């Protein structure tokens, strides 16, 4: 319903002011599929008449490679663990926090995450955060049976899926092998243990997903029984009356991440329009929308005050610190280790 309302507003504004249509679309955003949802930036739509122009990536590795190859956009949407690498590659320009209207409303736990601020400069405006965890069909697998080790059970051949992303795969493997605390700096023995785990589950993988919707559909149809995925997938399945949920036992293994928007050096759109979009994304109303419609927690603390309190409690968003304590946090991986992960993950997917 909210999408329809916002879409109608955008259309009427565009029809009433033809120049606004081109103005709004002039802003280019490099993003994950799905984040073109106009419910995230209603204030931008009201001011500029239409949505930005979106181009999508399936993984941070893909996004980084494309940007290094010369792809240009105004804004991009990485997660905090990628920011230092993107800064080192000279892809980003700092943000002016004085132009971020909601900066002071950001959750303290989020602002303290490595990669948001580097050497005194703000490089990422945090937007959403949440979990990557093991989602399973509760009509097929009992709660006391579920574990990361179950992914390697031959009984689930062709019935599991994990992301086509080395960082996420090795986070899963580090949790499964008891090396979560050293995820960003695995030694040779720990790296081998993680790689061996990924090889052990490879025969059971039906596909490595690059679009979460692909995994959601396969789990809803019964094609999959387990998948390593994000909060939204769990809620999509529940909303579609599929018996499924995420394993949130920190002792069994779950990961936490923070993602947001960065200002690319290739940006050509006027700065005021850049900040119009960033301020719309970080507004409390945007936070309410993503909490209630996507099931992700938002970076703006005020969003929780205006959102459905039953959902806040149900999703566990009433205690942000609990999300960060005990789980593997996606921090920046040592560059040499990251290169090893990328190379080895390609070998594993190829069956070697």
Q: For the CA atoms of the chain, what is the radius of gyration?
A: 20
Q: Is the pTM of this model over 0.85?
A: no
Taking the C-alpha atoms of residue 122 and residue 139, their distance in angstroms, rounded to an integer, is 46
Taking the C-alpha atoms of residue 103 and residue 113, their distance in angstroms, rounded to an integer, is 14
pLDDT for 48:
95
Whether residue 79 contacts residue 258, with contact meaning beta carbons closer than 8 Å, is answered with yes
Give all domains of the chain, ordered by start, each with its CATH number.
2-129+257-324 (3.40.190.10), 130-255+328-349 (3.40.190.10)
Which ranges of the chain have pLDDT less than 50?
1-22
Two tokens, residue 237: 């399945």
Whether residue 6 contacts residue 45, with contact meaning beta carbons closer than 8 Å, is answered with yes
* Burial class of residue 56 (count of CB atoms within 10 Å of its CB; 0-12, 13-18, 19+): middle
pLDDT for 22:
45
pLDDT for 331:
86
pLDDT for 16:
40
Taking the C-alpha atoms of residue 190 and residue 188, their distance in angstroms, rounded to an integer, is 6
> pLDDT tens digits, residue range 18-39?
444 448 999 999 999 889 999 9
Residue 156, helix vs strand vs coil = helix
pLDDT for 193:
98
pLDDT for 231:
85
DSSP letter, residue 79:
B
Two tokens, residue 338: 């990251």
The DSSP H or E segment spanning 74 is none
DSSP letter, residue 51:
P
Give whole-number Cα distances, 135 to 236, 238, 260, 267, in Å. 11, 11, 24, 38
pLDDT for 3:
34
pLDDT for 5:
35
């Amino acid at each position: 319903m909210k999408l329809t309302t916002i879409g109608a507003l955008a259309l009427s504004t565009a029809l009433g002011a033809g120049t606004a249509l081109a103005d709004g679309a002039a802003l280019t955003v490099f993003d994950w599929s799905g984040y073109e949802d106009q419910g995230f930036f209603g204030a931008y739509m009201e001011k500029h008449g239409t949505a930005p122009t979106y181009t999508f990536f399936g993984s941070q590795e893909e996004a980084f490679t494309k940007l290094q190859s010369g792809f240009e956009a105004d804004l991009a949407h990485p997660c905090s663990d990628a920011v230092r690498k993107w800064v080192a590659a000279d892809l980003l320009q700092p943000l002016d926090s004085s132009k971020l209207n909601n900066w002071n409303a950001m959750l303290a736990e989020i602002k303290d995450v490595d990669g948001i601020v580097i050497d005194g400069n703000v490089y990422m405006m945090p937007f959403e955060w949440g979990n990557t965890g093991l989602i399973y069909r509760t009509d097929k697998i009992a709660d006391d049976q579920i574990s990361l080790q179950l992914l390697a059970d031959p009984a689930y051949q062709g019935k599991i899926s994990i992301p086509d992303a080395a960082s996420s795969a090795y986070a899963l493997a580090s949790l499964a092998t008891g090396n979560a605390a050293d995820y960003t700096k695995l030694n040779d023995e720990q790296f081998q243990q993680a790689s061996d785990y990924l090889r052990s589950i490879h025969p059971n993988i039906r596909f490595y997903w690059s679009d979460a919707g692909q995994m959601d559909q396969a789990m809803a149809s019964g094609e999959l029984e387990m998948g390593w995925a994000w909060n939204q997938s769990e809620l999509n399945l529940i909303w579609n009356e599929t018996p499924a949920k995420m394993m949130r036992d920190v002792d069994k293994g779950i990961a936490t991440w923070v993602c947001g928007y960065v200002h690319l050096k290739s940006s050509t759109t006027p700065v005021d329009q850049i900040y119009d979009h960033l301020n719309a994304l970080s507004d409390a109303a945007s936070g309410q929308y993503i909490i209630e419609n996507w099931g992700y927690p938002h970076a703006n603390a005020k969003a929780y005050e205006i959102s459905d309190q039953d959902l806040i409690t149900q999703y566990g968003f009433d205690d942000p610190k609990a999300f960060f304590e005990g789980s593997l946090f996606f921090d920046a991986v040592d560059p040499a280790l990251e290169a090893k992960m990328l190379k080895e993950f390609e070998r594993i997917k190829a069956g070697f």
